[in-house]
Amino acid sequence: MATYRCLVSGNTVTFTYQHDIDSMKGHQGYVRIDEVEQETSEKPLILSQPKPAKKMGRPRKTENV
């Protein structure tokens, strides 16, 4: 038994026959949502260094001597 979720509407459909499951594997509009695949599809969180803040506004004038 396999459950698929529609990417557009979010509706779920459950299939029991192997022929139906095989035909859904090539379908681009649906994603399989079984507990086994959800655990493996998690991506690690990548943290980046904060960028230094720029000073806001116009630079100060310098006097010509």
Show Cβ contacts of residue 34 under 8 Å, excluding neighbours closer than 6 positions: 2, 3
Distance CA 56, CA 53 (A): 9
Whether the pLDDT of residue 56 is over 50: the answer is yes
- Which whole number is the average pLDDT over 22-27? 86
Whether the pLDDT of residue 37 is over 50: the answer is no
Identify whether the C-beta of residue 54 lies closer than 8 Å to the C-beta of residue 37.
no
Whether the pLDDT of residue 59 is over 60: the answer is yes
Whether the pLDDT of residue 49 is over 70: the answer is yes
pLDDT at residue 41 in the model: 55
HSE-CB of 16 using CA atoms within 13 angstroms: 0
Whether the pLDDT of residue 63 is over 50: the answer is yes
pLDDT at residue 38 in the model: 45
